[in-house]
Amino acid sequence: MEDIEYKLRFLMNSMTLTVNSVKYAESAKNQLEFIKKFKNQKIIHCFIKDSQLPIITPLMGLPINQNETKHKLLFCQIAVGTPLFSSSEYAMNCKTPHGYDSFLISSSQEPIETVIKNFKKLSKTTNTLSSYSYVVPDINRVLILGEVDFTYDIQLENHYKNNELCENCNTSNSVTFCLAERAAFCSDCDKLFHNNNFTQRHSRFYFNEIGKKRFINCKYHSSTVIDYFCTDCSVPLCTNCRINDNLHQNHNLITYIQACDDLKTKISQDPEMEIVLKRTNSLITEIEQEITQFEQEITKTKMKLQYEYDTCMNTLNDLVKRRYQNINSKYFECKYLTEMAVRGKTYPNEIDASVLVEKWKVISDVNKNISNIVLPDKVIFNEITVKGSLSVECASDNSGSVVSARQEDDLVRKRTEMLLRVSQFKTNE
């Protein structure tokens, strides 16, 4: 139970969370099979809600309603494997694409290409990892280890951490939190409010006692305080344990007070955590370099695409102009001959008959010349075609071979289109 409580407190970064009860599942055999099945994949210990599909668990924190104080979750192992970052709509309604085992989603609506930039801005002031969650559609990737009931009061936690002012006098720092009043009091106001038998029954948490008990009682001898710490077994011992338990006879024992100081120093200089931090910081640097190179490559690709587009459009515009030069010429030649023919009929009818007699030979010659004008050739439509096709391709990580978007499976393409359509991931133009 202590192990579960520490893990809950660790994920919530809490000093006040307390476990009420734990029901462990009988899954020792299943756990071995589970680890064997997914031994080469990333497995995490986490907490999830009961009867929730697909399975969702935040990267940091717990999936609880912080407006409540009593909570119940399932403690489990999840083989998240290789996750794919996607929108929540996509993750909640689709299976993972080939090559991926789970999803990573954000609770905020933001363009996918700005996720990391926004996270880096916000992470300077707040812990934003709690806004990101794993989503596992396959229930077979989840192994339930137990069920835990616990108490977590966000108001109590905030009062404890922030050492806020008394909510009654607003002058002195608060030293206790009263569950009945849902308020924090300083020492004087605490005595003032809880000065009778009725109010003294209120459950109160004193901040100097929460998580700071200098002495603890033995797990096996509840009436005896811890006096020693076995450095070989990494367990605390009372006097009874030291005398009656032969297991620690030849082990190195130190006093409890010394253990408190030594372990504080040891955890602050933990070499394993330093190695992890060094590895992750190195990888983050590489990822940031990859982002820079990728964005530069995107800019180059866009410029190439724009150049190809502009070149094609210039060619098309040139074809259009040349075509219309020919078409316009033929059109106005036809309109000219039409107008001449109409006028060859109407104009002689409008002049005096004497002029017809006098100028008949000229009139006949003019109309004959009009009839002898050659019509332009018939318009022949030549289809404009697009030669080849423009595509964007990415080299494979392993072989360097080109992988075309056209080679994708139809189902994957439909899923991708669905991903791009959802409002949460509208990319910036």
Residues contacting residue 424 through CB under 8 Å, at least 6 positions apart: 87, 88, 89, 109, 110
**Predicted pLDDT of residue 396:** 59
The domain over range 2-152 is classified in CATH as 3.30.56.10: no
pLDDT at 172: 87
pLDDT the model gives residue 81: 94
Q: Residues 74, 147: contact at Cβ < 8 Å? A: yes
Q: Classify 176 as helix, strand or coil.
A: strand
Domain ranges of the chain: 2-152, 228-269, 277-378
- What is the spatial distance between Cα 102 and Cα 108, in angstroms, rounded to a whole number? 19
Which pLDDT score is estimated for 28? Answer: 64
pLDDT at position 410: 56
Q: What's the pLDDT at 8?
A: 93
Contact 28, 217 (CB under 8 A): no
Q: Answer whether 169's CB lies under 8 Å from 183's CB.
A: no
- Quickly list DSSP for 267-312: HHT-HHHHHHHHHHHHHHHHHHHHHHHHHHHHHHHHHHHHHHHHHH
pLDDT at 424: 45
CA-to-CA distance for 89 and 186, rounded, in angstroms? 48
* pLDDT tens, N- to C-terminus, the chain (429 residues): 558 999 999 999 998 899 999 998 876 678 888 989 998 999 999 999 987 789 999 999 999 998 999 999 999 999 999 999 998 899 999 999 999 999 999 988 888 888 888 888 877 666 678 889 999 999 999 999 999 999 999 988 887 777 677 888 888 888 888 878 878 889 999 999 999 888 888 888 787 776 554 567 788 888 887 888 999 998 999 888 888 877 887 889 998 888 888 888 888 888 888 899 999 999 999 999 999 999 999 999 999 999 999 999 999 999 999 888 888 998 999 999 999 999 999 998 888 888 888 889 999 999 999 899 888 887 777 788 888 777 777 765 554 444 454 454 555 555 555 554 544 444 444
Which pLDDT belongs to residue 426?
46
Torsion angle, alpha carbons of 415, 420, 422, 423, to 10: 170
